[in-house]
Each structure stands twice: as structure tokens, then as C-alpha cells.
Amino acid sequence: MSAELGLRERKKRRTYQAISDAAIALFLEKGFDAVSVAEVAAAAEVSKPTLFRYFPAKEDLVLHRFADHEDEAARVVAARAEDETPLDALRRHLLDGLARRDPVTGLNDHPHVLAFHRLLYGTPSLVARLCPYQGRSEEALAAALGAGVGGRLAAGQIVAVLRVLAEENWRRIAAGERADDVYADAVAAVDLAFGQLRRGLAPS
């Protein structure tokens, strides 16, 4: 039974990945609005009902790549060392992401990443669908920081800062700068941002 469940799960993951890969390839080639769900299903060799079982909305075919990051800040805070503050843990994690050129930081100039970001930020319906993602990130982080309005306010500020930093990196990369050339300024921006957060979130 365990082996059967394992095989079934692997098959589901392969199908999920095949649909995603087919969708992204078509969207990058033709544009998000020019591709129908039926075209994606045909390219992935699945039926439309099967596609919708994996991706409830067309936008999810793109935004699912952010799903693993929804509770990332919350996980960093929850897993931090006892002597490390939430802000210090998040700053450390973000600096590590910049050093690794993690695409979620915006500091990545690989052609495939650039094409994906242009698709995302150049499609109004996809940008609009990012709002619920950010809301869920705030909720998860607020729970990790502690219940109450204080935790929610802190989470809202932190998530906003992470978004602005990533967008600034992406703006410069999209304008033609190399990630290596932007890196030092990106690190300095993290220090500035987290310094402001510390002052703003310091106990009164």
C-alpha cells in the first residue's frame, strides 16, 4: 500500500510539473492573455478537468511558483535560534538569498528568470493575483511573530519591505544591469531597510 501511494504521488507530481512547464513555455512564447487553458491542456496532454484539478485558475499556472515562498518568512522566524531576533533571522535569510541570487529576491539576471519576471510583472491579471499571496504571507508571519494587532502590524511592515527590496532589484536588472553589479547596493538596501524596521518596531 505504501509503495502504491508513493507511486501515485510521484505520478501526480510529474503531471503537475508537466502542466506547469507546458504553460510557462506557451505563455513566454505567445503572452499570457493569448494562450487559452485548452491550449495548455493539449500541450501537456491532459484534459481541461485534469488541469483544473491541479491549477484552479489560469493565473495559478504561473503563480504556483510562489507557493513555496508564501510562508517562507514565517518559517525563518519559527526556525531561528533562541538568541536570534525575528528581524535578525529574516535579514540573515535575505542576505543569503541575495548571495545565492535567489530569484525571489529580484537579484537574478538569468535569461529564463528575466523572461518569467517580465511575464509576471507585465500581465495585469497576474500582478493582481499577487495580492492574496502577499496577504497569506502576512498572516503566516503574524502568527509566527505572535497573536494580536502588534504581530499583524509588524508582519505587514516586514512583508512590504521584502516586496519593495525585491522590486527595486528587479527594476534595475530589467533595465539592463547585471546582478553582480547590483549586489552591493542590494545588500546596502537590506541594511537600510532592516535598520528602519528595527527603529520602527522597537518596543516603546
pLDDT per residue of the chain (204 residues) written in tens, 0 to 9: 556 667 888 888 899 999 999 999 999 999 999 999 999 999 999 999 999 999 999 999 998 877 778 899 999 999 999 999 999 999 999 999 999 999 999 999 999 999 998 998 889 989 888 888 888 999 999 999 986 898 999 999 999 999 999 999 999 999 999 999 999 999 999 999 999 999 887 665
Enumerate long-range contacts of 141-148, CB under 8 Å, 24 or more apart.
141/71, 141/73, 141/74, 141/77, 143/74, 144/73, 144/74, 144/75, 144/77, 144/78, 144/86, 145/77, 145/86
Q: Which residues contact 26 (CB under 8 A, 6 or more apart)?
A: 35, 39, 40, 43
Q: What cell numbers appear for 95 in the block? A: 542576505
Alpha-carbon separation of residue 93 from 67, 96, 140, 199 (angstroms): 18, 5, 17, 20
Q: What is the pTM of this model?
A: 0.83
Nearest to 85 by CA among 140, 134, 164, 146: 146
DSSP 148: S
Rounded CA separation 41/139 (Å): 33
